[in-house]
Structure 1
Amino acid sequence: MKIRATAAKVIFQVVEQGQSLSSALPVAQQLIAAKDRALLQEICYGTLRWLNRLEFIADQLLDRQLKGKHRSLHYLILAGLYQLFYTRIPPHAVLAETVNASGLLNGDSFRKLINGVLRNAQRQQEELLQAADKNEPTRFSYPRWLLKKIKQSCQYGYVSVLQAGNEYPPMWLRVNLSKQSRDEYQRQLAAVEIQSTPHASCESALLLEKACDVSKLPGFADGACSVQDAAAQHAAWLLDPQPNELILDACAAPGGKTAHILERQPALKQLVAVDSDANRLSRVAENLQRIQLEATLINGDASHPEQWWQGPQFDRILLDAPCSATGVIRRHPDIKWLRRPEDIAELAHLQHDILNAMWQQLKPGGTLLYATCSILSDENSSQIKSFLERTADAIHVPLNEKDTALQPGWQIHPGEQHMDGFFYAKLTKQVTV
């Protein structure tokens, strides 16, 4: 009962108040028993994943919307519908627990209504789902504006991209190759009955057959491995750090890529990791402490490096730019409902400014790797194409056969080789004679 009421409150906080799920859910989880936290997470993530679809179905079953002080009951109904349609929880348990939860949300007078809505949903499930399938925003559960943007960016492959955004995300590990080989660590996992599959092209990545708590991973506390999607792991490989180089990791938090750069090349002259969020920068410090490596951490704005860096230009820069995060919707379904159409233009403008600023900090002959976890061309290929057109000393380095001057960069789509959506573009600065 308390789980459902708490879930309704969390979903309300995300959709109505604009809180991120990653900030609202942990607070709520402290209010319920430890054994119930996984179910709370499942209901919150699942309801937000399918929000548009569930809203459509609720509209077919309700004469009028529940508003004002009863708004949280609306999200209680959506959470009930999610459990009926998308989980294996017995329907009688869903009905009983959801109806009873209304009392914890000052909704005793709505018990009969909620019971009726869920019973009708159960009886009419097939027809309701068929009706929801007739329009793409309710079939795939995306806001109309974002669906249109994805369709423009991904063109013929957009359906698989939308579907991938609704799937449960897999758990990838990054093996610390400075401590052991991937094959060796895979054997260590198998010894504790954790099955894994190596990524075909990313040498450090292992895909777990089933997600598990990090406490069960051999050597995790000592830095033998880290949890990081294979798409993000490509950053350190593409950057290709060399001994005695001065490297900048711009917009570094939470520090997964920072750590990977150091694992790849411990003999750097210096690695500087910058982030504008002091709280998130502390996460970088925690990550580095666990793997027992060091970097220079700076709380600063990447678009104004003159405020925090008076040293020499960098040999290599990883610019993991602020973005819409549309490539990781499967991990953060609230992104669909928290983003606004105007955000994309604002982010593209910020990326433009940071790219320009970072280029001035790169030495001639140096390499800049631009990265986002977005799938929108405004933030990716269009951003890089525009930069190349206005920057005379920027040289485009193709990463594969699809990375062309007309459409620069490597776009990884969500679900491709089980990875998150990600974008990379590699640039070098021309040496003037």
Structure 2
Amino acid sequence: MSRLPSDSLAYALLQAAHIHAAVIAGQSLADGHLGRVEAVARPAVQDLVYGSLRRYGRGDFLLGRLLSHPLAAEDIRCLLLVALYRLETRPEAAHTVVDQAVRAAGELAEGRFSGLVNGVLRNYLRREAELLADLAADPLASSQHPAWWLAQLQQAHPESWPAIVAAGNAPPPMALRVNLRRGSREEYQERLAADDIVATPVGEAGLMIARPLPVERLPGFAAGLVSVQDPGAQHAAELLDPRPGSRVLDACAAPGGKTAHLLERAELELLAIDLKPARCRRVSENLSRLGLVAEVRSADCLRIDRWWDGRPFDAVLADVPCTASGVVRRNPDAKWLRRAEDIASFATSQARILAALWQVVRPGGKLLYATCSVFPAENGEQVARFLERQPQASRRHEEQLLPTAEHDGFYYCLLEKSA
């Protein structure tokens, strides 16, 4: 139990270091670490964790210059990483950051590393210009991406890979999707303006927020007037575009944003499935908040005999598990947890899912294959292999969205089954 006040920077640094160390050890940010942090400190801890993971390559380079030998105490190493991130992003508070990092170190290993933390951070401040010049001269460290990941991007996107890397290192934008069943986008934009929140229309029902803010500050969020969803993700429902009354399957539905968007656009007979019960509960909670109705079931989409009643679907959304290479700014742990061989592993799983779900599409029906990846093996190459095996399938629409300031990276391919 930490003795530090939960509203102190020292507490935030300490908790961020624990979470950062868990990620480096192989755990995911999706494992609920932030939920165990005191609520008053959660925003600060989230900023420290996500920011230091986005810049992990940078921090690792700096520590390599600042430490005379590798540091075996991983919690201390991660404390230094999050403190360096805070020093770089809040240089005006350097004295406070160092002081609070030393206090945090006092809670680890019986305080044996407090002096080291103090010395390393003060050494960074003295040598900052020199260290940052060295960093700028090292292409890999300054890219803040693993070498194998960078090589994949350069091969797949020889012209645009620098922009993809830059987008992955930046904080993500915040966009909303207005629930058009409960009011127009224009009406909601006026409500935002009344609260001095600047928003710009995007897509069919989206609004881009000029300055991200907690969802609790969004008027009518709890009442289901609006959801947070990236414009690139909103494109899925727009592309699948099922007619009112259609029988629709969302096969990898959690957390339910795309499910909800489909239902906001039309009255549908919709089945949403996901593998884990906890993830299905999130889908149900989202639908309930928005006043939407669907059948939500925990099921393995590969085992169609366990959940399919034999009635074919007019439209299927297959938003398959992937490397998340298009959304690393939202999931900065992904690029450090993944390995190069994971691409082939995901591609194998995706092929199995696509083949299974194709069986439940009616003749004349459609399936939208979707990933949040920018790696071709999961996207265009995957679909090309599928089309070779399925003479009944034809490609109606295909697009690769690369991450930009306006949206995350997504791949979509709309497939139609011949009648």
Match of 2:402 in 1: 413
User: What is the distance in 1 between the residues matched to 2:310 and 2:291?
Assistant: 25
Q: Write the distance in 2 (CA, Å) between the matches of 1:169 and 1:113.
A: 34
Q: Which amino acid aligns with 2:254?
A: A
Counterpart of 2:6? none
Task: Give the CA deviation at 1:347.
Answer: 0.7
2-side partners of 1:2 and 1:22: how far apart? 21
Deviation, structure 1 residue 296 = 1.2
- Written as runs of structure 1 = structure 2, the 5 A alignment for 1:321-332 is 321-332=320-331
Where does 1:254-403 land on structure 2 (aligned, <5 Å)? Answer: 254-266=255-267, 268=268, 270-398=269-397
Task: Identify the match of residue 90 of structure 1 among 89, 93, 112.
Answer: 93
CA displacement at 1:28 relative to structure 2: 4.0
Measured at CA, do residues 28 and 66 of structure 1 come closer, stay the same or move farther in structure 2, by a change above 3 Å? farther
Is this contact kept in 2: 1:10–1:28, CA < 8 A? Answer: no
In the TM superposition, what is the alpha-carbon distance from 1:332 to its structure 2 partner? 1.3
- Alpha carbons 1:314, 1:361 under 8 Å: kept: yes
Aligned to 2:33: 25
What per-residue deviation string (whole Å, max 9, x for no partner) do you get for residues 300-337 of structure 1?
11122122112311111111011111111111111111
Q: Return the offset for 1:53.
A: 1.1
Aligned to 2:130: 127
How far off is 1:135 after superposition? 3.0
Aligned length: 410
Give SS of 1:349's match: helix
- Give the Cα separation in 1 of the matches to 2:336 and 2:212: 26
Query: CA distance change for structure 1 residues 365 and 25 in 2, over 3 Å: closer, same or farther?
Result: same
Matches within 5 A, 1:94-133: 94-106=97-109, 108-133=111-136
Q: Give the C-alpha shift of residue 373 in structure 1.
A: 0.8
Gaps of 5+ in 1: 399-408
Letter aligned with residue 43 of structure 2: A
Structure 2 residue matching 1:116: 3-state secondary structure: helix
Q: Hey, what does 1:154 align to over in structure 2?
A: 157
- Other-structure match for 1:401: none
Q: Which amino acid aligns with 1:414?
A: P
Instruction: Quickly say closer, same or farther: Cα 1:165–1:366, change in 2 above 3 A.
Output: same
Q: Which residue of 2 aligns with 1:5?
A: 14
Q: Aligned pair in 2 of structure 1 residues 5, 215: CA closer, same or farther (>3 Å)?
A: closer
Task: Provide the rounded CA distance (Å) in 1 between the counterparts of 2:206 and 2:135.
Answer: 38
Kept in 2, the 8 Å contact 1:167–1:330? The answer is yes
Measured in 1, the distance between the counterparts of 2:270 and 2:122 equals 59
In 2 relative to 1, CA 216–109 (structure 1 residues): closer, same or farther, beyond 3 Å? closer
Distance in 1, Cα, partners of 2:418 & 2:411? 23
How many Å separate the matches in 1 of 2:100 and 2:290? 44
Letter in 2 for 1:347: F
Aligned AA (1:283): R
Q: Distance in 2 between matches of 1:55 and 1:106?
A: 21
- State whether residues 2 and 104 of structure 1, in contact with CA within 8 Å, keep that contact through their aligned partners in structure 2: no
Q: Secondary structure at the match of 1:155?
A: coil
Following superposition, the deviation at residue 107 of structure 1 comes to 5.2
> Alignment partner of 1:220: what SS?
coil
Cα pair 1:177 1:263 within 8 Å, conserved:
yes
Letter in 1 for 2:204: E
1:236 positional shift: 0.8
Q: CA RMSD in A?
A: 1.5
Q: Structure 2 matches for 1:100-249, cutoff 5 A?
A: 100-106=103-109, 108-199=111-202, 202-249=203-250
In structure 1, distance between residues paired with 2:214 and 2:164: 28
Percent sequence identity is 44
Deviations 1:61-111 (A, max 9, x none): 1111111xx221111111221111223451111111112221100253323
Gaps of 5+ in 2: 1-9
Q: Which aligned runs of 4 or more in structure 1 are off by greater than 4 angstroms? A: none
2:34/2:42 contact within 8 Å kept: no
**1:333 and 1:106 mapped to 2: Cα distance?**
28
Task: Give the residue type in structure 2 aligned to 1:351.
Answer: Q
User: 1:314–1:366: 8 Å Cα contact kept in structure 2?
Assistant: yes
Amino acid at match of 2:103: N
Q: Do the aligned partners of residues 142 and 217 (structure 1) sit closer, same or farther apart at CA in structure 2, a change above 3 Å counting? A: same
Q: TM-score, normalised by structure 2?
A: 0.94
**CA distance in 1 between partners of 2:104 and 2:53 (Å):** 19
Separation in 2 of the partners of 1:37 and 1:316? 40
User: Cα distance 1:391–1:58, how it changes in 2: closer, same or farther (>3 A)?
Assistant: same
The answer to whether the 8 A contact 1:73-1:107 is kept is no
